[in-house]
Amino acid sequence: MIGEKKVLFSGMQATGNLTLGNYLGALKNWVTLSDEYECFYSVVDMHSITVRQDPATLRKRARALLTLYIAAGLDPQKNCIYYQSHVSGHAELAWILNCFTYMGELNRMTQFKDKASKHADNINAGLFTYPVLMAADILLYQADVVPVGIDQMQHLELTRDIAQRFNAVYGDVFTVPQAYIGKSGAKIMSLQEPSKKMSKSDENPNGSIYLMDDPDTIRRKCKRAVTDSLGEIRYSEEQPGLHNLIDIYCACQNKTPDEVVKEFAGCGYGQFKEAVGEAVVAILEPLQKRVAELEKDKSYIDGIIKENAEKANYFAQKTLRKVQKKVGFPEKIR
């Protein structure tokens, strides 16, 4: 708890181009949580270097992501929006938690196995202990809830295990976090292969709508989206492509699938796809304008980066001092 509010932590990596899926599935929902929770939203740049990065590109993308958080509607006065690398407590706590995590546990992480097979030439120790850094992110702020997609559930489970293990030895040091399962955490699938999640790293650029795609590109990608030969607008698992387009339309327009099916009863797929394209443009075009405006105001963004890093650091240090004392590190002489 901070004051009256429960604490929420989440983060995103600034690698790859963010997609409509990242926005509708995560960012858009984050905005609705900031009244109820004390929120920490991090740009997790320390996680990014587990895979080799071009430094200039990483720096640019990290700033773009932080700007996007604000453009999407996260008020930086109310939400702590910051770079993970600006708060050294993440690394310090991660080291301690490494000593409370078993090799066997990390060996079981499916994302590690995945990434190790994709980056066989660079299976570094950071990639292996990635989930421990993530646990440190969460536990450092005593987070009660963590909004994550299903792909991160295994990491969150591990975080809970580490917290409970530590608490069992040293008393109630960490809040044991819970997954936040959003009401309408839309899971957006690829437009070309609707059985796969829409991804930043899709080889087929037509499968994903990128947040910075221009309106014509968005319309074209929607028009080309894979559907089926049944030719009827229904919300059914048998029509995964259409199902996904309905989900996208619903998330953009804040409607329910039932309403959408009624609205487009008797229409052809072409007409519906056009409407989806327009709905997406109506969401992304203003978002892009806000990003462009914010980017112009360098000193405003710099101010937020500085203030929020200080705020994050304050809470991080509180936890860290407690943990350091528990494990037996000598007190600093001031």
Residues marked active site are found at 115, 197, 200
Give dist(CA 177, CA 147) in Å, integer. 10
Other CB atoms within a 10 A radius of the CB of residue 230 amount to 12
**CA dist., res. 190 & res. 3, Å (int):** 41
Which x/- pattern over 23-52 shows residues binding ligand TRP (rule: CB under 6 A)? ---------------------x--x-----
Closest separation in Å from C-beta 9 to ligand TRP: 5
In the DSSP assignment, the letter for residue 115 is: H
93 contacts 139 by C-beta, under 8 angstroms: yes
**Interface with ligand TRP (CB under 6 A), residue from 62, 66, 146, 305:** 146
* Single residue of 71, 94, 145, 148 touching ligand TRP by CB under 6 A: 148
Counting residues that bind ligand TRP (by CB under 6 A) gives 12
Can residue 162 be called a binding residue for ligand TRP (CB under 6 A)? Answer: no
Q: By CB under 6 A, which span of 131-139, 168-176, 273-281, 324-332 interacts with ligand TRP?
A: 131-139
Helix, strand, coil in percent for the chain, rounding step 5: 55, 10, 35
180 binds ligand TRP (CB under 6 A): no
Query: Is 202 strand, coil or helix?
Result: coil
Contact call for residue 20 and ligand TRP (CB under 6 A): no
Nearer to ligand TRP, 10 or 79 (CB): 10
State yes or no: residue 134 binds ligand TRP (CB under 6 A): yes
Give the strand pairing for 145-147 and 80-83: unpaired
21 makes contact with ligand TRP (CB under 6 A): no
Asked if residue 9 binds ligand TRP (CB under 6 A), the reply is yes
> Could you give the CA distance from residue 308 to residue 141 in angstroms, rounded to a whole number?
14
Which one of the spans 9-17, 95-103, 181-189, 233-241 is the region binding ligand TRP (CB under 6 A)? 9-17
Minimum distance of ligand TRP from residue 317's CB (angstroms): 19
Q: Is 163 in the site for ligand TRP (CB under 6 A)?
A: no
- How long, in residues, is the chain? 334
Q: Which is nearer to ligand TRP, 94 or 242 (CB)?
A: 94
Q: Out of 80, 138, 211, 275, name the contact with ligand TRP by CB under 6 A.
A: 138
Quick check: 25 and 187 in contact, CB under 8 A?
yes
The CA distance from 103 to 71, in Å, is 40
User: Shortest Cβ distance from residue 210 to ligand TRP (Å)?
Assistant: 17
> What is d(CA 71, CA 324) in angstroms, rounded to the nearest whole number?
37
Give which of 173, 115, 182 is closest to 148, Cα–Cα. Answer: 182
Strand partners, 11: 42
Q: How far is the CB of 84 from ligand TRP (least distance, A)?
A: 8
Short-list 192, 196, 198, CA closest to 251: 198
Region from 132-140, 179-187, 219-227, 302-310 binding ligand TRP, contact rule CB under 6 A: 132-140
The rounded Cα 177 to chain-centroid distance in angstroms is 17
What does the binding site for ligand TRP look like in residue numbers (CB under 6 A)? Answer: 9-11, 13, 44, 47, 134, 137-138, 146, 148, 152
